[in-house]
Amino acid sequence: GGGGNPIVCLHGFDSSCLEFRRLLPRLEAAGAEAYALDVLGWGFTQRDEGLIKDFGVEGKRDHLKAFLEQVLGGRKAVLVGASLGGCVAIDFALAYPDLVEKLVLLDPQGYVEGAPMGGQPKFLQDVGIAVLKSKPLRMFANKIAYAEPETFGTEDAMRIGRLHCLSPPGWEEAMRGYMDGGGYKLAESIVRVPQSTLILWGQQDKILDPKLYAERFVADIGTDKARLQMVENCGHVPHLEQPQKTAEAILEYIGAKSESRV
């Protein structure tokens, strides 16, 4: 199963749906029903504290559930989670297994637990949040994300990755809400993932070393359910650095034929 199920792509920590700007068109060109969803509090989601009380894990889970129920009519989806988006996908799959057909994890986080600066005094969080928003920090993260930073780690890429910090308002408060919520703690729960899972990992990932984590995901989820595929000439973001290979692997895994060579 999976070929007729909608695909929902979930971006990484403090990123946006624009992370899938190269992958989504390839999935759609092959006839897949695909969506790139902003995770609550990040991306370009509404961040009005008067309306949204929880920017932590539970709030993000409820937001994804509402999307699947209200937009997709409660149909089972294939969740594609990149980096921390892998945590979002795993957490949701454990909480609502009846809404998830399969998982695809792209260089997923899972064994690195918690949130940065969680429980720290507000003034320290404010300093950290200001640094997180800064162009130098964004450019540094941009460069280490790729196997070929000269090609992909450009100033344009940095600007795209930073856009959501600037608008809509409330990014700082949403980030603080995630920090104070404690982040994702899934290391002991990955063994309970019930869905068939494809794990794609960039061979040259400098952020989450595949030698430390890739086989561990397979072992914990189970060799009967999990499959690992390494992506050559690729760092932490296969959906940006090797989008065609990533699209083909996803489409093949869910039983949809890739006919596009966008």
Question: Catalytic positions, please?
Answer: 83, 205, 236
In angstroms, the CA 94 to CA 85 distance is: 14
Which residues, 6 or more positions from 156, have their beta carbon under 8 angstroms from its beta carbon?
A: none
Which candidate, 224, 225, 231, places its Cα nearest to that of 247?
231
